[in-house]
């Protein structure tokens, strides 16, 4: 397998959920970039487990250690490598069911792909735990992008059937994105956010789980980033977004709803701003991208996450060693809904993708 992604900036992830540590190496960063480690730590805590009742009880601090590529508060130009040690592991929870394939997990496909040699504890390299170093890389990328005025932020659009309004596609405010990044549960409407959290807790009591949608916005992108076909902004970001465990869908701008519009409704008509002389569009159904290239409007997209597959209900499955049908009742510590903790991960891969596109 390859855990490497990127063109000018290369990101290489490593580690397993219950191994000694997980980490990432970033190759291609310019020397002299000043990093705010406190801000990186804040981003890490946004994703960290064990913070509230709607999160897994696994108590990982997600504290990072930079091993190389950083000296006197700045990048050196050599590969930047950081690790996050795994401290709260209960590997014995997985020993007794190592041959029992958990439904909707990568147990079966991983077993076949790697001939049974894969680390099955906590999902091994398939685990959402591996998104912690991705958040580290994304935090570094966000700081570099912010120095260019580019801002990334997200909110929880929906949990199960409870949903709030979309971002304003035309006038998303930087202040709103910053406010959301400091919320434990980043919904725009706090009342709807409370309803979402209650729905998650209800599913947890029922030994079940829920999925949801994260909506992300990128502001102040200059016109001209990306290229048609294989290196379009959509294809680059989609590649990274679908690398996040549990992602099952992504849509840009109006997304699937645009298929229900007429051309006269869907088209984003252009105008020249009287004050700045910049070119804008009256609507933003294309989500800030035309022909795979940014057009200076807010880049808007939504990401759909499936319900957490680890649930405590009895489920039908197979014993891969005995080649027989059986049942499983999953034990251990699991999120009843991963969407809350996935928000900074979506922002992280977005920052990684945009940084690489700008660097090309």
DSSP string of 269-299, one letter each residue? -EEE-TTT--EEES--TTTTEETTEE-SSPE
- Would you say 317 is a known binding-site residue? no
Backbone angles phi, psi at 225, to 5 degrees: -85, 135
**Interatomic CA distance for residues 236 and 230, integer angstroms:** 8
Q: What angle do CA 349, 354, 356 make, to 5 degrees?
A: 95
Backbone angles phi, psi at 24, to 5 degrees: -150, 145
Backbone angles phi, psi at 6, to 5 degrees: 125, 160
Rg, Å, the chain Cα set = 21
SS3 assignment, position 76:
coil
- Would you say 243 is a known binding-site residue? no
- Would you say 333 is a known binding-site residue? yes
251: β partners: 302
- Would you say 212 is a known binding-site residue? no
Q: Are 43 and 135 in contact (CB under 8 A)?
A: yes
- Would you say 306 is a known binding-site residue? yes
- Would you say 42 is a known binding-site residue? no
> How far is residue 59 from each of residues 47, 149, 192, 246, 279, measured CA to CA in Å?
12, 35, 28, 21, 49
Q: What angle do CA 260, 266, 271 make, to 5 degrees?
A: 170
- Would you say 47 is a known binding-site residue? yes
- Would you say 49 is a known binding-site residue? no
> How far is residue 233 from each of residues 27, 158, 170, measured CA to CA in Å?
21, 24, 19
- Would you say 307 is a known binding-site residue? yes
- Would you say 53 is a known binding-site residue? yes
For the chain, give the number of residues. Answer: 360
Report the binding-site residues for FMN.
Answer: 125-127, 291, 306-310, 333
Please enumerate, by residue number, every residue annotated as part of a binding site for NADP(+): 47, 53
Residues marked as binding? 47, 53, 125-127, 291, 306-310, 333
């Amino acid at each position: 397998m390859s855990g490497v992604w990127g063109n000018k900036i290369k990101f290489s992830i490593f580690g397993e959920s219950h191994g000694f540590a997980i980490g990432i190496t970033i190759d291609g960063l310019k020397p002299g970039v000043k990093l705010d480690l406190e801000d990186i730590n804040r981003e890490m805590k946004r994703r960290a487990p064990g913070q509230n009742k709607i999160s897994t009880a696994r108590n990982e601090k997600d504290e990072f250690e930079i091993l190389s590529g950083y000296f006197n508060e700045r990048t050196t130009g050599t590969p930047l490598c950081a690790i996050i040690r795994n401290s709260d592991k209960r590997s014995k929870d997985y020993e007794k069911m190592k041959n029992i394939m958990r439904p909707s997990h990568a147990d079966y496909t991983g077993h076949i792909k790697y001939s049974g040699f894969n680390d099955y504890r906590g999902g091994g390299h398939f685990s959402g735990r591996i998104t912690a170093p991705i958040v580290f890389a994304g935090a570094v990328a966000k700081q570099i992008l912010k120095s260019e005025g580019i801002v990334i932020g997200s909110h929880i659009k929906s949990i199960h059937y409870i949903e709030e309004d979309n971002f304003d596609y035309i006038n998303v405010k930087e202040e709103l994105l910053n406010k959301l990044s400091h919320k434990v549960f980043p919904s725009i409407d706090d009342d709807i956010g409370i309803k979402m959290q209650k729905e998650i807790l209800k599913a947890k009591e029922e030994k079940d789980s829920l999925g949801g949608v994260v909506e992300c916005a990128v502001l102040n992108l200059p016109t001209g980033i990306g290229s048609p076909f294989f290196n379009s902004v959509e294809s680059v970001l989609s590649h990274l977004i679908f690398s996040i465990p549990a992602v099952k869908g992504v849509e840009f701008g109006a997304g699937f709803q645009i298929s229900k519009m007429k051309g006269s409704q869907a088209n984003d008509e252009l105008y020249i701003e009287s004050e700045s002389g910049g070119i804008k569009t009256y609507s933003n159904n294309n989500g800030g991208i035309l022909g795979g290239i940014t057009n200076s409007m807010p880049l808007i997209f939504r990401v759909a996450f499936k319900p957490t597959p680890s649930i405590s209900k009895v489920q039908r499955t197979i014993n891969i060693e005995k080649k027989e049908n059986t049942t499983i009742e999953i034990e251990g510590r699991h999120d009843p809904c991963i969407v809350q903790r996935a928000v900074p991960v979506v922002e992280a891969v977005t920052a990684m993708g945009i940084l690489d596109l700008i660097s090309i």
